């Protein structure tokens, strides 16, 4: 038991792992973990003898721990989380202008996708995270948030969720369980670089969360340069998968376009996106590229961004401009991994 995470276990699994006997005892422990308890002494409705027994087993609620914390003046908080095997990941708490808080969670140590414009992609891939290690990030961010509640979760941190879908599914089940944390599935988003089998699996087996796809470009050649995933599943295969996902779920899909000045930010690029997306039901999230030292890209100008958005809006598409949050702590889109250097 020592070193294993309890945060990713259901009440039934907790009961078995901890030999809790009566099911209601497991539900008590589960509720305490959902509230943020990290030690047995906090679980005051358990008998003292039971708390002492559990402490003797030396199981830990969390297998990882926050190792570093960076705070941005915009209210964002980035945590480096040290895992039991010594590896580390980052997760971010983002706050919008209305005070709503979103937990941006990682699902892998590093990332195997190698997107040219992303800091995490330059780190390589070490391993998948367990469901417990994913849920722990939420627990640590919630503690960092203080009194403010977290209303949304996005799997947009380090790693490709569709390549660790089993653990992501289980983490979502824990996060959305009304017996515990109780987040609405409508407040949870999985973002993928375009892993087609994962999209189809999600369509068939759920959970029914929101889906976002990092598109970046609707030109196969350019997308292939920027996103190696396109050599495995090209734009035609991706569009077919999204059409099948939409037919199965009826849900609108978010297309994310990380715009780099002079690379994929022209009106012609926007027109290609419009043609490719038809007739899918989508909204487009425009993300000005966030600077990463050492990468050969530049931010788009305000004029480029607005001209791109204007093409989409004239075509009747919903285009939103991503708020730039967390840039001061390298916690914005594409920047995660900065505190993991050396």
- Residues known to be catalytic: 90, 333
**Phi and psi based region of residue 298 (left: phi greater than 0; alpha: psi -120 to 50; beta: remaining):** beta
CB atoms within 10 A of CB 45: 9
Task: Return phi, psi of residue 67, to 5°.
Answer: -110, -25
Who contacts 131 (Cβ-Cβ below 8 Å, separation ≥6)? 8, 167, 168, 170, 171, 174
Contacts of 308 (CB under 8 A, 6+ apart): 257, 259, 265, 266, 267, 269, 270, 286, 300, 319
Contacts of 249 (CB under 8 A, 6+ apart): 203, 208
Instruction: Tell me how far apart the alpha carbons of residues 80 and 214 are, in angstroms, rounded to a whole number.
Output: 24
* Residues 196 and 239 sit within 8 Å (Cβ to Cβ): no
């Amino acid at each position: 038991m020592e070193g294993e995470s309890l945060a990713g276990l259901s009440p039934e699994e907790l009961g078995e792992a901890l030999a809790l006997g009566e099911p209601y005892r497991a539900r008590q422990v589960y509720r305490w973990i959902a509230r943020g308890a990290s030690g047995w002494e906090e679980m005051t409705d358990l008998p003292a003898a039971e708390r002492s027994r559990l402490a003797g087993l030396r199981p830990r609620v969390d297998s990882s721990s926050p190792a570093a914390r960076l705070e941005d003046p915009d209210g964002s908080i980035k945590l480096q989380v040290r895992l039991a095997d010594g590896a580390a990941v980052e997760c971010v708490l983002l706050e919008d202008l209305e005070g709503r808080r979103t937990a941006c969670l990682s699902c892998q140590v590093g990332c195997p996708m190698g997107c040219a414009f992303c800091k995490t992609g330059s780190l390589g891939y070490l391993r998948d995270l367990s469901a417990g290690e994913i849920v722990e990030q939420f627990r640590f961010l919630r503690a960092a948030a203080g009194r403010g509640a977290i209303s949304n979760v996005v799997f947009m941190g380090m790693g490709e969720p569709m390549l660790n879908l089993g653990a992501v599914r289980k983490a979502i089940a824990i996060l959305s369980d009304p017996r515990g944390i109780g987040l609405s599935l409508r407040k949870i988003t999985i973002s993928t670089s375009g892993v087609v089998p994962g999209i189809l699996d999600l369509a068939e087996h759920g959970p029914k969360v929101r889906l976002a796809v990092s598109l970046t470009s609707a030109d196969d050649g350019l997308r292939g340069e920027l996103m190696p995933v396109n050599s495995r599943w090209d734009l035609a295969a991706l569009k077919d998968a999204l059409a099948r996902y939409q037919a199965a779920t009826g849900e609108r899909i978010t297309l994310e376009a990380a715009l780099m000045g002079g690379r994929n930010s022209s009106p012609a690029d926007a027109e290609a996106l419009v043609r490719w997306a038809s007739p899918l039901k989508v909204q487009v999230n425009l993300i000005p590229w966030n600077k990463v030292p050492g990468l050969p890209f530049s931010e788009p100008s305000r004029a480029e961004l607005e001209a791109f958005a204007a093409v989409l809006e004239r075509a009747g598409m919903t285009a939103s401009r991503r708020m730039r949050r967390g840039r001061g702590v390298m916690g914005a889109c594409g920047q995660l991994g900065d505190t993991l250097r050396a």
